[in-house]
Amino acid sequence: MSLQKKLQYVLFVLLYVVVDGIVVNAFSIDSTLYVYREYIYIVEFLGIAVLLLVLPEVRAHLYSLVKPTILKETSTYVWFLVSLLFLFIFREILFSIEFLYDAQFLVNYQLSNNTESFIYLFGAILLVPIYEEFIYRGLIQHWLTKKIGVIAGIVLSSILFGWIHGDYPQFGFVMGLSFGLIYHYKKSLVAAIGLHIVWNVIASL
């Protein structure tokens, strides 16, 4: 990998952290923009899209990993079914362990999707999976598996993925494993994005 590519990859991840921090703070409960929080994921998606426009090496790398033809393979949908079952079982197990989660969080988790606007759900269900899979599977996991091996790379990227899901890091780690495994074995971001979207749809019901 050329020095230019490495610099662009590092710059993209660093700028993503900055963009995420700015957006989260801008729409925090103490901000005057909080009333527009339903647009938070759309704004973040647009910010990341701008980064990809100005960093061609990162854009080319991610584009090469999309590979939508895997949607023609029956095995992809077998992966989807097995992964969704795995996610559902672990969600029920983890969320039943009282000391892991605050009781109020569990109440909010069950009720929030019934009170959110269409725009918010559109961002959470469709846009978030796209940019999270680009970053955590297409860049972070892809790089880690080459540097420290497949198992360690998937586990470490899943830990990072769980960490950004601060309210439920344990289940965030499980989600990271599921999305990471399908990405690794299908060699396609479309597979990871598709599974992520389907799970978000199920979780929003």
Q: How far is residue 33's CA from residue 173's CA, in Å, rounded to a whole number?
A: 30
Low-confidence ranges of the chain (pLDDT < 70): 1, 98-99, 101-115
The pLDDT of residue 101: 67
Q: Is 189 left (phi over 0), alpha (psi -120 to 50) or beta?
A: alpha
Whole-number Cα distances in Å, 36 to 28, 32, 41, 57, 77: 10, 9, 11, 34, 37
DSSP code at position 28: S
Cα within 13 Å of Cα(90), Cβ side:
18
pLDDT at 116: 79
What's the pLDDT at 104?
A: 62
Q: How far apart are CA 14 and CA 20, in angstroms?
A: 10
pLDDT value of residue 110: 58
Check residue 204 and give its pLDDT: 83
Whole-angstrom distance, CA of residue 141 vs CA of residue 134: 10
| 44, 131 contact by CB (below 8 A) | yes
